[in-house]
Structure formats: C-alpha cells, structure tokens
Amino acid sequence: MARTWIRRPHVLALVAAAVLVIAGIVLLVSPADGAFGALAWVAIVVGVALGAVALFFARTPKS
C-alpha cells in the first residue's frame, strides 16, 4: 500500500484539491459573515490550482 502512494502522489494531491474546493463552496454558501467569504475564495482558488498542478505533473513524462 505504501508503495502505491509513493509512486502515485498525484492521487493524494487531487483528493486534497477536491476537499479544498468543496470546503470553499461550503464556506461560501454558509451564513457566516466576515472573512469567511474571502477564506472560501482562497480555498477554492488554491484547490483548483493544486488540482491543475497535480494533473500537469501526472501527465508529464518521467524521463
């Protein structure tokens, strides 16, 4: 099991990106005021960026 996670770290990064995007959406639609809106957008942007970078490095040749 550990070998699979070492050889495929992009899977963990994609899961983390999905969690960040979902958490950002939940924070965005929550009735909380203040900095939660900004925190939600930061979480969404970071999640999308992390997912894009993970997919880029997953598709890059390993030569």
Write the pLDDT tens digit of every residue in 1-60: 555 555 667 788 899 999 999 999 999 998 887 888 899 999 999 999 999 998 888 877
The pLDDT, as a whole number, for residue 63 is 62
pLDDT of 47: 95
Residue-wise over 21-40: b if at least 16 C-beta within 10 A, else e? Answer: beebeebeeeeeeeeeeeeb
∠ CA 51-56-62, rounded to 5°: 135
pTM of the entire predicted model: 0.78
